Amino acid sequence: MSHTEFVSFETDDGIELNGFFIKPTDFDPEKKYPVITYGYGNAGSQIVVNRWGTQRGPQQDLWHRYMAEQGYIVFAVDNRTTQGRGKAAKNLTYGEYGKYAVLDYIQAVDYLKQQPWIDGSRIGFWGWSGGGYLAAALMTKAAPHFAVAVSVAPVIDLTHYQAAGVERWMGTPSENQSGYDAVNVMNDADKLQGKLLLIHGTGDENVKFAFTLQFADALIRADKQFDMLVYPNQRHGISDFRGHVFKTMSRYFDDHL
């Protein structure tokens, strides 16, 4: 299997971000490769780490290496509010959940397009939970930078998410209604471009299945085409059918990226 290659790059406003590549073992710098990017993005999280596995377990890491062997380049980046950058960096999230995650992934696309061995028209993204939110946001708020995305168990509207996990960053809706409105991806459903797959378990105890239904309703009302896969009675980790999830994602990227 390919080893992870760690990199750093600077944003337009001078912030250094850390990322990693996983390349095919037969990588040829003269070729052009499609890219599958992966992200989570919440303040205090970290996925660019020098160890095997990822924040959400070894399956993602093994799937990334499998997809690299199928001819993709896998890329990830930690945005400026993530772990290891100090409290001042985390503070950027206050009142504006997800803002810098979206902006820094747009910067990441610019960085990717500077690499001569990347096909800039074939950049995809996938994420789970907070990363599911990021996938939905990148295909709407940040359109058209990504061609394809898979959004698993996405947080969509923070006014209906766990108060303990949200209000420490956002305050209450009555205090920060504009901030909550800016985060809500349903408000940007009409901006969707590219191919989007929504995946969710109906028994999700963390990010409620209703989030995906609300977003699907907003997309339909905006006359946008998308795909959706529902796992009956599965909880947040869809632990009974992880293999099915990754097979589906493999097929979706193969078909559309």
Annotated catalytic sites, by residue? 129, 204, 236
Q: From CA 152, how far away is CA 203, in angstroms rounded?
A: 14
DSSP 68-127: HHTTPEEEEEE-TTSTTS-HHHHHTTTT-TTHHHHHHHHHHHHHHHTSTTEEEEEEEEEE
Q: From CA 38, how far away is CA 171, in angstroms rounded?
A: 28
Q: From CA 210, how far away is CA 101, in angstroms rounded?
A: 24
Residue 74 and residue 151 in contact, taking contact as beta carbons nearer than 8 Å: no
DSSP for residue 208: -
Backbone angles phi, psi at 16, to 5 degrees: -85, 125
Backbone angles phi, psi at 228, to 5 degrees: -150, 140
- Residue whose entry in the numeric block shows the structure tokens 């095919």: 24
Residue 152 and residue 160 in contact, taking contact as beta carbons nearer than 8 Å: no
Number of residues assigned to the chain: 257
For residue 7, the cross-strand partners are 19
